[in-house]
Structure 1
Amino acid sequence: MKGKICKILTSVTIVSLLITGCGNTNKTVINESESQEVKKGGVVKQALTESPEGVFMPAFFTFNYDVNVNSMLYDGLLFVNDKFDFEPCLAESYKVSDDKKTITFKIRKGVKWHDGQPFSADDVKFTFDFVCNPKYNGQYTMYVKNIKGYDAYKEGKTNELEGVKKVDEDTIEITTTDIYGSGLLNFGYMMKIIPKHIWEKGDIEAVQKDTNLIRNPIGTGPFKLGKFTPDQSVELVANDNYWDGRPNIDKYIFQVVSAETVDAQLSNKELDIVSAGNLTKEEEENYKKQGFKVDEVTYNVYQSMGLNLKNPLFSEKKVRQAFAYALNREAIVKDVLEGHGEVANNPFPSNFWAHPEGLNEYKYDSKKAIDLLKESGWEYKESDKKMYCNGNPVKFTLKYTSGDDQKTKQALMMQQNFKDIGIELELQPLEFTTMSADVKKGDFDAYLMGMGNSNDADISANYLSTLTPPNGYNYTGFNSKKVDDMLTEGAKHLSKEERKPIYNEVALELNEELPAIYTYHWNSILIYNSNIKNFKNTPIGYYQYIKDWYIDGEQ
C-alpha cells in the first residue's frame, strides 16, 4: 500500500496540468456552502513525495512540484473552468478581432500584488517582453513564438515586441503573425503574469540565478508564500487582499513525506490530501471509514503503444487495427489501473470536448485480429501457433520504463495477448532517460509511453508530419496529409464551437489510422479529509476552486 498511495501524479507526460489559483468570479462553484455555514480559518496539509526545488517564479520553473506552489501564488489573464471554457481572471474581458489574429484584453482594475503594489497593463506587457527576450530560454517560449515580431525581438534586431501593445492603462493587445488557435489558452491561461517592479531590476540571466528573488515570490494569487523549508515543507498563507476575496482557509502546507510514513500520517490526520497512483476497492473503503473521501477524474492524457511506422511490419493500417483488436485493453484497465481509468480509442478522453461520437472501439477479439492479419498477407500456422510475414515468424520489441509497476504489468499482459495471435513480443525495460532518447532518435520497434494533450485539442506536436523529433513529438513518424490539413485548419480557429467539429474529425481519423495503439486514459485519484468542504477535482486540476474551500469540524 505504501508504494501506491504515495505515487503522486507528475508532469513528465502531463505538462498540461498547469493549474491556477484564480478566483471564482462568474464561476460555477460547489453547493455545499449553500446548506452549511462557511467557516473561516484552519490549515490544509497536502503530501508531496519530493520537495519543490524552490523556483517560485512561473516563467523559470522546470520541476513539477514547483507547479503546485506557483499555481496558488500567480494568476493568468483568464481562467479555464471544468468545462474547458474561458472565464475572466486578471483580465475582466477579452475580444478577438475579425481576422482572428488579435486578442484584446481588458485588464481588471483594483488588483494588487502581494506586496501591495497595484497590478496594471504594464505588468502584462512586461511579462510578454520578458519571455520573448533574447536571453530567456524557459518553458513559456513555446507559448509565444507565434506573436508578431517575435523572431526580430528574440534575435535582438529590435527593442520593441511588435505584437504586444499597451493600448491604454487598462488594455493590452496581442497580435499573432498567423491565426493561432491556442492563443487564448496559452496567452490567457498557461502563462502567469509576473510583476514588472520586481523582475525589471536586472539582466534575465542574473535574476534567474537570484535565489533571494526566486524564493521570495510576489504574485496576485489567493495565497502568499509564508515559509519554504527545503526537503520539508512549503507553507502558504491566505492573501487578505486577494482581488476576488480572501480564501476561507488560513494556510496551505505542502508537506514532504516518505512512502514509509504516509499511511500513518493520514490515519493520524496529520495530512489532509494525498494523490494516489491506484486504489483497490478495499483500500478505498478503508480510507472512507477513516473519514476521508476519494475523488477521481479522467485527465486529458493517454497511454499508448507507439509503433515505428518506418518498420515495414507496421506500415499497413489493417495490421495496426489487428493489434488493437488483439489487446485486451478492458482487462488492462481493470487489472493495471484497478478500474481507475477508461479504454482509449483516440487521444481525447470521454470528458473532453474534442472527444467524438462514432469511434471504433476495437473490442478485444483475437480471432478478428488473426483474420485481419491474414487479409494483410500474413500467415497463421496452426502447427506451431505462430504468425508469419514473408515467411518469417513475426517478432518485435517493446520498450518501456523500468521500475514502473504499471507499465511492467501492462507489458506482460500485452506480451500474452500477442502470443495468443502467434506474435512474439520481446520486452525491453529501460531507464526513462535511455528509453526517451531511443524513442526520439527512432531506435525502437514499439514503445509504451504516456502522452499529455495540454488543456487544448491541438495535438499537432504529436501528429503533424513535420513535427518529428527534434521539432516535435511525432515519435512514430506518422504522415497523413488528411490529418495535417485538419490540424492546420483547427489552428485557424479560436472558439471551441468552431474547433470542435475539426478536432472530432482528427480524432476519428486517428482512430482509423492508429499510428499508435491507444490503451487507456487514466484517472487522477485524490484522497482528502472529509472535513474539507467545497472541494472539487476537475479535468484541469483541483486548486482553481481553493478560495472557496473551508474546513468544517475538528482538525
Structure 2
Amino acid sequence: MVGDLFDIKAASLDPAQESGGLLADKAQIVETLVGVNPDMSLKPKLAESWKQLDDKTWEFKLRDNVYFHDGSKMTAEDVKFSLERANKLNTRIPSLLKLDSIEVVDPLTIKIHTSEPNYVLPAALHFAAPLGIISPKCVNNNGEITAPIGTGPFSFESYDEKTHVMSVIKNDKWWGGKVLLDKIIIKPITDPNTRALSLENGEVDFTVDVPYNEIESLNKTSGITVDKFENSRITYMYFNLKKAPFDDVKVRQAIAYGIDRKSIVKYILFGVGTPAVGIYRPDFYWTEKDLKAYDFDAQKAKDLLEEAGWSDTNGNGIVDKNGKDLEVSLITSPNRPSLPPMAEAIAGQLKEIGIGVNVEILESGVVSDRQKSGEWDAALSAISVAMVPDASYVLDGYFKSDGINNKGYANPNVDELLKDAANSKDEKERISKYKEVQKIILEEVPIIPMTYYQMVVAKKDYVKGYEFDYTSHDYTLTPETYIEK
C-alpha cells in the first residue's frame, strides 16, 4: 500500500490530461519513447534509437516485441495516436513538440515532422506521463480514459470513485524483465502528518514527504526507514509581475536579500534540502556555475527598498510609499510539508526589513484559480525542473514572454537568447545561451529560488529494492521493488 500526497482524481487516470496523468507514470502503467539517466543524458526506452533527418524531421525506431497490457503489440500507429492525442488535450505539449505531423513509415518506425526546428525533441518525449504511449482501445467513445492500457511493468486493475484508491498489478509480459511486486494499492493521503501516521500504524508500506520534524523519530521507529534523495525539484518564491510593487526589480531584489535561506533549511526544514542559488542544481550540465547568491543581508534589503521609494514614515515597522504600507499576500499549498512553515518563516524575516506578509495556505487548485484571476501578490511553490531533461523546459515555459507559465516577466533580450538557443544545432552554443539567460534571471529576480528539494521517502523495512528516479515528479514504483517475507 502506497500513500500518495495528491488526491487521485479520475482525470489522473488519463496520461494526457492537463490535470493529472502523473499517477499513470508513478504507477508505471505507461512508458515514454525516451528515458533519461541520472546525469540527464538520454537513453532508449520504447524507442530503441532516433536520429534527426533534417531541421524539421526526426526518425524514431521502436522497440520490437513490446506489448500492451491487453496483449496487443505496440506499433507505430499506437505511438502516433498517443502523441497526437496528448498534443491536442494537454496545453503544455504543443510548445514542447512543435508538432506538424507524424508519419508512420512501417510498424516499428515513425517520422515526426515539426513546424519549426526542434533540436530537443527527444528530450521532450521523455515528459511523463502526458507523452506516455497508450493503446487506442482504452479511449472510450467520448474520448476519455477510465482504465488506462499501457506497456509498463504494472497494469491498471481498479479505481474506486468514492475513496479514490487505485490498484495496479504486475505485468508478467513486460519487455523490460521481471516485475517483483504482485500488486500495488495507491491511496491518496494529502496531509503530511496523516501520511506519517499511516506508515507508523501499518496502513501503508511506503509514502513520501512526511513532515520533516518527524523524520528523526520515524527513523528511530522499529521497522521504518526514512531516506532523503536529491532530485530535480526546487522550491521557489515568485511574483505577480503585472502588479506593483513587484514590477520594480529593486523591490524583488530587496525581498531576495531579506530572506535567510540557510537558516530556513537548518531550523525550519530540519536540514532537508540545500539553499538554492539559481533555478538548476549545480550538477546539471546546463547549469551556469558562476552565479552569485543573494546571501542574507538585511541592511542591503532595506537600502534597496529605500532606493525604490519605500520607507517607514509613520514608525509602524512597515515601509510605506505614497501613504500605503507595503503589505504582501503570500499564497502556498499544504501538499508539500516544507511549504507552509517556509512561508511563515519568510513572513517573519521580511517583517524585519519592513515588509508585511500575510500567509494564505490554500489547496493547490485554489492557488491556480487565484493566479488565473490575477488576484495575487506572491506565491511559494515547488516544481520539478527536469521532467523534460533540457534547460529549455523551464526557461521557455517560465521566462519567455509568451511562456505557458509566465507570470508577467518580459525581457526582449531573454526572448532573443531563448529563440537563438532553440534554433541552434550546436549543443554547446545552446547551453551558452541558456547560461546567459540564467544570469539575467538571477539579476532581475522574477523568481527567488529558495531550496534545492530533497524527496523524503519513508517505508517499511521489508520494502526492498526501491530505486529513486531522479527525474520523477515524486516517485515511481520501480519493478525492482519487492516485499521481503
* Correspondence for 2:466: 535
SS in 1 for 2:174: coil
**Contact 1:248–1:549 under 8 Å retained in 2:** yes
Aligned to 1:324: 256
Whether 1:104 and 2:63 are equivalent positions in the alignment is no
Q: Give the one of 268, 275, 300 matched to 2:208.
A: 275
Give runs of aligned pairs for residues 14-53 of structure 1, distance below 5 A. Answer: 45-48=1-4, 50-53=7-10
Q: CA deviation at 1:84?
A: 1.8
Return closer, same or farther for 1:363/1:548 CA change in 2, 3 Å cut-off. same
CA deviations 1:455-514 (Å, max 9, x no partner) are: 2322222111234xxxx3221x22212211222223235786554333222222111111
Q: 1:120 aligns with which of 75, 89, 93?
A: 75
State the partner residue of 1:36.
none
TM-score, length-scaled by structure 1: 0.74
Q: 2:111 aligns with which of 167, 173, 181?
A: 173
The offset of 1:109, in angstroms, is 1.3
Aligned to 2:432, the other structure's residue is in SS state helix
Q: Give the length in aligned residue pairs.
A: 474
Between the aligned partners of 2:49 and 2:361, the Cα distance in structure 1 is 50
Structure 2 distance, partners of 1:507, 1:98, is 30
What is the deviation of 1:85? 1.8
Using the TM superposition, give the Cα deviation of residue 140 of structure 1 relative to its aligned residue in structure 2, in angstroms: 6.9
Q: State the alpha-carbon separation in 2 of the partners of residues 386 and 207 from structure 1.
A: 56
Q: How far apart in 1 are the matches of 2:157 and 2:464?
A: 23
Q: Which residue does the alignment assign to 1:490?
A: 421
Match of 1:464 in 2: 400
Match of 1:58 among 8, 15, 19: 15
> CA offset at residue 429 of structure 1?
5.8
Please state how far the C-alpha of 1:108 moved relative to its aligned partner.
1.1
Q: Secondary structure of the residue that 1:287 maps to in structure 2?
A: helix
Q: Tell me whether 1:137 sits opposite 2:75 in the alignment.
A: no
Match among 184, 189, 194 for residue 134 of structure 2: 194
Give, in angstroms, the shift of residue 173 of structure 1: 0.8
Amino acid at match of 1:208: G
Partner of 1:266: 199
2:484 aligned with 1:549: no
Q: Which of these residues, 270, 274, 277, is aligned with residue 342 of structure 1?
A: 274
Q: Return 5+ residue gaps in structure 2 as ranges.
A: none
| CA distance, structure 2, for counterparts of residue 122 and residue 261 of structure 1 | 44
1:347 offset after TM fit, Å? 2.2
Deviations 1:208-257 (A, max 9, x none): 35xxx732x43211122344444274332222211121212322232456
Partner of 1:146: 98
Moved more, 497-506 or 81-90: 497-506
Task: Give the superposition deviation at 1:105.
Answer: 0.6
Partner of 1:253: helix, strand, or coil? strand
Change (3 A) 1:496 1:440: farther
Aligned residues of 1:60 and 1:208 also touching (Cα < 8 A)? no
Moved more, 324-333 or 222-231: 222-231
What CA distance in whole angstroms lies between the structure 1 residues aligned with 2:433 and 2:413? Answer: 12
Inter-CA distance 127–353: structure 2 relative to 1 (3 Å threshold): same
Work out whether 1:413 is the aligned partner of 2:345.
yes
Moved more, 367-376 or 502-511: 367-376
* Residue identity matched to 1:146: K
Instruction: Kindly provide the CA deviation profile for residues 100-152 of structure 1, in whole angstroms up to 9, marking residues without a partner as x.
Output: x22211111122222322222222223234445xxx5346754676112xxxx
* Alignment partner, residue 244 of structure 1: 176
Q: What residue is the counterpart of 2:48 in the other structure?
A: 92
Q: Is the 8 A contact 2:386 2:471 kept in 1?
A: no
Measured in 2, the distance between the counterparts of 1:61 and 1:254 equals 20
User: Do the aligned residues in 2 keep the contact of 1:248 with 1:547 (CA within 8 Å)?
Assistant: yes
What does the per-residue CA deviation read over 1:408-463, in whole Å, with 9 as the maximum and x for residues that have no partner? 54344333323322334455666655553443343344343444435232222211
Shift of 1:543: 5.8
**Is contact 2:36–2:126 with CA below 8 Å preserved after alignment?**
no
Question: Residues of 1 paired with 2:105 and 2:323: CA distance?
Answer: 69
CA shift for structure 1 position 520? 2.7
1:409/1:248 CA distance change after superposition, 3 Å: closer
Task: Confirm whether residue 356 of structure 1 aligns to residue 294 of structure 2.
Answer: no
Measure the CA separation in 2 of the matches of 1:431 and 1:269. Answer: 27
Specify which structure has the bigger relative contact order, considering alpha-carbon pairs within 8 angstroms and separated by 6 or more residues.
1
Deviations 1:3-55 (A, max 9, x none): xxxxxxxxxxxxxxxxxxxxxxxxxxxxxxxxxxxxxxxxxx31236445376
The Cα of 1:298 is off from its aligned counterpart by: 4.0
Q: 1:312/1:240 Cα in 2 relative to 1: closer, same or farther (>3 Å)?
A: closer
Contact 1:84–1:455 under 8 Å retained in 2: no
Cα distance per residue 1:347-371 (max 9 Å; x no partner): 2234444332122211111122223
Distance 1:249 1:402 in 2: 33
What amino acid sits opposite 1:78 in the alignment?
V
Give the counterpart of 1:235 among 157, 161, 167. 167
**SS of structure 1 residue aligned to 2:229:** strand
- Contact map agreement 1:267 1:290 (CA 8 A) in 2: no
Tell me the equivalent position of 1:399.
330
SS in 1 for 2:479: helix
Output the CA distance in 2 between the equivalents of 1:383 and 1:84: 52
Deviation at 1:93, TM superposition (A): 0.7
Residue 442 of structure 1 corresponds to: 374
**Separation in 2 of the partners of 1:409 and 1:172?**
49
State the structure with more CA Rg: 1
Aligned-partner residue type, residue 221 of structure 1: G
Partner secondary structure for residue 95 of structure 1: strand
CA contact (8 A) 2:278 2:442 kept: yes
